[in-house]
Chains A and B, each alone.
Chain A
Amino acid sequence: MSFLEVSNLQVSFPTEDGIVHAVDGVSFSVERGKVLAVVGESGSGKSVTSQAVMGLLNRKATQISGSVVLDGQDLLAMDDKDVRKLRGGKMAMIFQDPLSSLHPYYRISKQLIEAVRVHQNVSKSDARKQAVSMLDQVGIPAPERRIDDYPHQLSGGMRQRVMIAMALLNNPSLLIADEPTTALDVTVQAQIIELIQQIQQVSDAAIIFITHDLGVVAEVAHDVLVMYAGRVVEYAPVETLYEQPQMPYTLGLMASIPRLDRDPNVRLDPIPGNPPSLINLPSGCSFNPRCTFSDQVADGRCSVELPDLVSAGEGHLVRCHLPIETRKTLSAETLAALKGGVL
């Protein structure tokens, strides 16, 4: 069994407008020392999945089923109180916007010391020493001085480093990074990604990296999970996914990455339409209304029948009605068009 094994995770929120099926039957696994990238648009369920793993969803307001097994323990079957003890300790999380994720009224020192002392029985000054050394490790200059700053006194990149330091304080063996670079400048993004790669090499933690940026994924991930409308639509090792993406949605994501080696004459192609409402999912394949290839499937099956997630090669799972040969051809054509025929 893998270090983290999520099976058939379902999360739904009852709202006034109806039940929101945020996550529907998601399964994946991550080993220690490996990075799983979870990719998808806003509302695809990637953040909800990670929050379900962390036990951050309010169990009274949410219906959660399936299993989340971390190092042999099923977190969904455990008491809230016991899951809380794992949070920030064995499993930690980095959030998207470091400015709003840090408490604006407390100094960095207080927020870090607090994080140490929830899990370790140490004095304030020891906790502070640990915090300073961690800030140093994540690349904050003059950490003894900066630790007494308030979050608003730091730059965006520094704040995200603080968040990362906070997550690493108790040496977690599962680290979830929920779009950690989205709110940052491009140059800072690269630094943060590099930092996360270093952490992965040094700490031997299992890392889940959530993003909507396929460009970032190629740099950090070992495996990639593509989500659409709360379901897994493609799951593959990173090389496989980049060499032969098979689900039309993944192809669409690929076609919308701006790249220097692209033919400048080929237009950047956004996926047409918007993600569907999670209250009222389209019948059949959820991607079908936006899919440019659904007319190639006979009898309009795409709008009637939800395709299963089936094997398409070694460790490669795809949810699509198109025959595998057609998918391979489409994949090759799309990638070739992107590179302008020059390989």
Chain B
Amino acid sequence: MAGYVTRRVLIMVLMLLVLTFAVFLLFNLLPADVARLTCGKICTPQTLEANRIKLGLDQPVLMQFWYFFKGLFVGREYYGGDAPIACPAPCLGYSFQRNELVTTLIGQRLPATIWLALGAFVFWMVGGISLGIYSALRRGKWQDKSVMGVSLIGYSLPSFFLGLVMIYVVIIQLKLLPFPRYVSPFENPVQFFQAMLLPWIVLAILYAAFYMRLTRSQMLDAMGEDFIRTARAKGLPERTVIGRHALRAGLTPIVTAAGLDLAGLLGGAIITEALFSLPGIGSLALGAVVNPDQPIIVGTVLITSAFIIIANLIVDLLYAAIDPRVRLE
């Protein structure tokens, strides 16, 4: 077990490294000159060249990557302006456009994204799983058909459309909620909930659709298993047969999918964050792509992929906890 985890963590680090390098390379193909961005309005070729050297952009890509890699573990210094800028480990880079450390920028944006992801997660898991079970129990009846029909609609709706409709109906027409303005829940819980409710619901609808279908098919598979017949033959009430025996058997793929979806969301829900002006990782990354800002892109990609890779590991460990037949070696 300990050996398994160590090995997985090492592989994880290696994967992150390769990924970061790939993003690094990709960005070098983009037609944006970072040195030009630091140069100011009046930019002489001499200053430009000097800045290029200061930023290390005169070095080959491989060397640039090496500095970045070293910075992750021991920190580094940037020489953008007059005084050197210290970037302590783990240094994800420095945005010369925003004059901020990428670590600081991500740190500011992370809470909103985490709240968004966690809240939506709770909504869609509770809603998706319970409707999925309901649907499975009424298989082939009108209730099943309508739940599945609605879920298909939810599944196919793009988030920007659903989000816009929500804003239009709930905020503009019915005036049930004020225009969302994100604050920390510790500062003003009421305003926090008012800002988060719609984005939670939008994301939850999009994700719940998939979980309804997954839960339904898992439950139907499980209900056909021999051990369910055994459970009934024992004389267990149907509630126990379904809640304890069938659901437990169908849980594994649900947990797997849930872990990965949650991790994906922790990397930022770009469209939902933008729609509801939530200051999260998604909107940070969006800004950095629209207005090319390499350090931010590399930093967010690194963080996002770290979330997904870590979630993968956790899901695998959970898998072993759920299914006693799985041995981690």
Decide if B3 is an interface residue (CB 8 Å cutoff).
Answer: no
Q: What residues make up the interface of B, taking CB atoms closer than 8 Å to A?
A: 225-227, 229-237, 245, 248-249, 322-325
Decide if A114 is an interface residue (CB 8 Å cutoff).
Answer: yes
Contact (Cβ within 8 A) B233 A56: yes
Known: A87-B234, A115-B234. A104 touches B245 (CB 8 A): no
In the bound assembly, the distance between CA atoms of A56 and B236 in angstroms comes to 12
19 CB < 8 A contacts A-B: A56-B229, A56-B233, A87-B232, A87-B233, A88-B233, A93-B233, A95-B230, A97-B226, A101-B227, A101-B230, A103-B248, A104-B249, A114-B234, A150-B324, A150-B325, A152-B324, A152-B325, A163-B230, A166-B234
Known: A95-B229, A101-B227. A86 touches B325 (CB 8 A): no
Q: A84-B237, A95-B230 are in contact. List 11 more A-B contacts (CB 8 A).
A: A85-B235, A87-B232, A87-B235, A104-B249, A105-B249, A106-B248, A118-B234, A118-B235, A118-B237, A119-B235, A166-B234
Known: A56-B229, A95-B230, A100-B227. A105 touches B322 (CB 8 A): yes
Contact (Cβ within 8 A) B229 A101: yes
Contacts of B226 in A (CB 8 A): 95, 97, 100-101
Cβ distance A294 to chain B, nearest Cβ, rounded Å: 38
| Interface hub of B230, B245, B322 (most chain A Cβ within 10 A) | B230
Contacts of B231 in A (CB 8 A): 103
Cβ distance B224 to chain A, nearest Cβ, rounded Å: 11
* Pick from B230, B232, B233, B322: contact of A103, CB under 8 Å: B230
Decide if A157 is an interface residue (CB 8 Å cutoff).
Answer: no
B-facing residues in A42-94 (Cβ within 8 Å): 54, 56, 84-89, 92-93
Decide if A102 is an interface residue (CB 8 Å cutoff).
Answer: yes
Contact (Cβ within 8 A) A92 B233: yes
Contacts of B227 in A (CB 8 A): 100-104
Cβ distance B246 to chain A, nearest Cβ, rounded Å: 10
Contacts of A105 in B (CB 8 A): 248-249, 322-324
Contacts of A93 in B (CB 8 A): 233
In the bound assembly, the distance between CA atoms of A87 and B240 in angstroms comes to 15
* Nearest-CB residue, chain B, relative to A152: B325
Contact (Cβ within 8 A) A103 B245: yes
Contacts of A102 in B (CB 8 A): 227, 230
| Interface hub of B227, B237, B249 (most chain A Cβ within 10 A) | B227
Contacts of B234 in A (CB 8 A): 87-88, 114-115, 118, 166
* Nearest-CB residue, chain B, relative to A88: B235
Contacts of B324 in A (CB 8 A): 104-105, 150, 152
In the bound assembly, the distance between CA atoms of A100 and B249 in angstroms comes to 12
In the bound assembly, the distance between CA atoms of A114 and B235 in angstroms comes to 10
Cβ distance A54 to chain B, nearest Cβ, rounded Å: 6
In the bound assembly, the distance between CA atoms of A87 and B235 in angstroms comes to 5
Contacts of A119 in B (CB 8 A): 235
Contact (Cβ within 8 A) A104 B323: yes
Cβ distance B325 to chain A, nearest Cβ, rounded Å: 5
In the bound assembly, the distance between CA atoms of A85 and B233 in angstroms comes to 10
Cβ distance A43 to chain B, nearest Cβ, rounded Å: 18
Known: A56-B229, A95-B230. A103 touches B249 (CB 8 A): yes
In the bound assembly, the distance between CA atoms of A92 and B236 in angstroms comes to 12
- Which 5 residue pairs are nearest across A and B when measured between Cβ atoms? A88-B235, A88-B234, A100-B226, A87-B235, A103-B227
In the bound assembly, the distance between CA atoms of A93 and B230 in angstroms comes to 8
Known: A95-B226, A103-B227, A103-B249. A118 touches B323 (CB 8 A): no
Contacts of B230 in A (CB 8 A): 95, 101-103, 163, 166
* Nearest-CB residue, chain A, relative to B235: A88
Contacts of A97 in B (CB 8 A): 226
| Interface hub of B225, B229, B234, B237 (most chain A Cβ within 10 A) | B234
Cβ distance A164 to chain B, nearest Cβ, rounded Å: 12
In the bound assembly, the distance between CA atoms of A114 and B226 in angstroms comes to 17
Cβ distance B37 to chain A, nearest Cβ, rounded Å: 57
In the bound assembly, the distance between CA atoms of A340 and B248 in angstroms comes to 57
Cβ distance A213 to chain B, nearest Cβ, rounded Å: 20
* Nearest-CB residue, chain A, relative to B139: A61
* Nearest-CB residue, chain A, relative to B230: A101
Contacts of B249 in A (CB 8 A): 103-105
In the bound assembly, the distance between CA atoms of A88 and B231 in angstroms comes to 9
Contacts of B325 in A (CB 8 A): 104, 150, 152
* Pick from B229, B233, B236: contact of A114, CB under 8 Å: B236
In the bound assembly, the distance between CA atoms of A196 and B229 in angstroms comes to 21
Contacts of A92 in B (CB 8 A): 233
Cβ distance B156 to chain A, nearest Cβ, rounded Å: 28
* Nearest-CB residue, chain B, relative to A83: B235
